[in-house]
Amino acid sequence: MSFRENYREAVAGRANVADTSELLAYYDEIERHHAGALWTVANKIEPWEPASSSAPMLWQYDALRPHVLRSLELVTPEEAGRRVVYLANSGRRDVTAAVGWLYSGLQVMAPGECASSHRHSASALRFIMEGTGAFTNVDGHKMTLSANDFVLTPNGTWHEHGVEADGAICIWQDGLDIPLMNALEANFYEVHPDLKQPIIFPIDDSTASWGSAALKPAGEHGPKRYSPLLKYEWERTYDALQAFARVSDGSPFDGIHMDYINPETGGAVMLTLGASMQMLRPGEHTHAHREVGSFVYQCAKGSGFSIVNGKRLDWKERDIFCVPAWMWHEHANASVTEDACLFCFHDLPVMKALGLYRAEGLAENGGRQPVLS
């Protein structure tokens, strides 16, 4: 414990009780009644500020890819349900989280394969990493998927995925709030009675209906629980960033930064998960800030590095890294000629809905962190 913490605990009325043999015996006694003395745990359960048990981590695609491909030979989608290699944060192995209460994994499918339909309380999203011919069917809306497309499978929706027989092996990142649903003890899971659901709507009808930035189908629409757009194509996303960059200096912390939205509400894409894409211009190095919320990033284009609580993470296309809650983070584009783009999903909709969101910029050192490792 630092001097400052010690001092604060002494003056600010924090628990500061020395163990005596009498107290230790007392703790044993009440433990027998399935109870405890609050002052023995108070400082742990009431930290001064969020103290994430997640580590800032980087998962390099080149290192993981051969192992992801190997799983094609080891299990079928029928056996495995989903053929996925998940990302394990060293501080969150107990809850299978990549960071905080967020799960991430790399799913692989071969041409002609299809993973059966199911639905669950967890909300999910995919960010396509490589391959051709991938599709997903969400409540009867079949969508075709290409590299860097971002697609939703909101909680409660039937969903299955596959790769067309004339496609190429596909790998995508799955992002889910599974750890959060389990922490809330709210998680249900159901397999579709027919294993495969019908395609009810024209292929790619969601983008044809909702994919215009400024126009939407007239009239009233169904539930606003999640974005009816469902799929966000890379080309339109990149065009939007480029257009915004022509008229904006962007954010000092995130460069040219745009949120994926629900076009009905202007809000986040799903109730628990939000997502954004940011572009770092050639040579750009942002200022550090920290937020109440957990973040999983995937580099969609270019290369660079991020510094997360003093730890430098060097990334390039398809690498994934995380920023735990309330940790300082800044991003840098390593190239002076090319832009770099970072896809990100996070739990900010949860933090905001519960009134917990906070953010602060680093004032010292010109907004840059010292690199410690």
- In the bound complex, what is the minimum distance in angstroms from residue 159's beta carbon to ligand 1HN? 5
Q: Which residues bind ligand 1HN (CB under 6 A)?
A: 82, 84, 105, 107, 122, 124, 159, 161, 174, 176, 178
- In the bound complex, what is the minimum distance in angstroms from residue 189's beta carbon to ligand 1HN? 8
**Nearer to ligand 1HN by C-beta: 58 or 122?**
122
**Nearer to ligand 1HN by C-beta: 82 or 289?**
82
Whether the Cβ atoms of residue 315 and residue 343 lie closer than 8 Å to each other:
no
Residues sharing a CB contact under 8 Å with residue 257, sequence separation 6 or more, in sequence order? 250, 251, 276, 277, 278, 279
**Nearer to ligand 1HN by C-beta: 160 or 254?**
160
- In the bound complex, what is the minimum distance in angstroms from residue 297's beta carbon to ligand 1HN? 19
**Secondary structure letter of residue 39 according to DSSP:** G
Return d(Cα 44, Cα 6) in angstroms, integer.
Answer: 14
- Supply φ then ψ for residue 349, to 5 degrees: -60, -35
Q: What is the CA radius of gyration of the chain?
A: 23
- In the bound complex, what is the minimum distance in angstroms from residue 113's beta carbon to ligand 1HN? 12
Whether the Cβ atoms of residue 298 and residue 319 lie closer than 8 Å to each other:
yes
**Nearer to ligand 1HN by C-beta: 107 or 278?**
107
Q: Which residue from 122, 76, 370, 339 is spatially nearest to 226, judged by alpha carbons?
A: 122
Q: Which residue from 145, 141, 181, 146 is spatially nearest to 159, judged by alpha carbons?
A: 141
- In the bound complex, what is the minimum distance in angstroms from residue 178's beta carbon to ligand 1HN? 5
**Nearer to ligand 1HN by C-beta: 227 or 309?**
227
- In the bound complex, what is the minimum distance in angstroms from residue 142's beta carbon to ligand 1HN? 15
- In the bound complex, what is the minimum distance in angstroms from residue 117's beta carbon to ligand 1HN? 9
- Supply φ then ψ for residue 139, to 5 degrees: 50, 45
Whether the Cβ atoms of residue 358 and residue 292 lie closer than 8 Å to each other:
yes
Return d(Cα 297, Cα 83) in angstroms, integer.
Answer: 21
User: In Å, what is the CA distance from 220 to each residue of 156, 202, 223, 325?
Assistant: 22, 20, 10, 38
**Nearer to ligand 1HN by C-beta: 126 or 287?**
126
User: In Å, what is the CA distance from 277 to each residue of 177, 181, 254?
Assistant: 19, 25, 10
**Nearer to ligand 1HN by C-beta: 123 or 286?**
123
**Nearer to ligand 1HN by C-beta: 23 or 88?**
88
- In the bound complex, what is the minimum distance in angstroms from residue 271's beta carbon to ligand 1HN? 17
**Nearer to ligand 1HN by C-beta: 156 or 267?**
156
- In the bound complex, what is the minimum distance in angstroms from residue 176's beta carbon to ligand 1HN? 5
The sign one gets for the Cα dihedral 128, 133, 136, 140 is: positive
Return d(Cα 327, Cα 310) in angstroms, integer.
Answer: 9
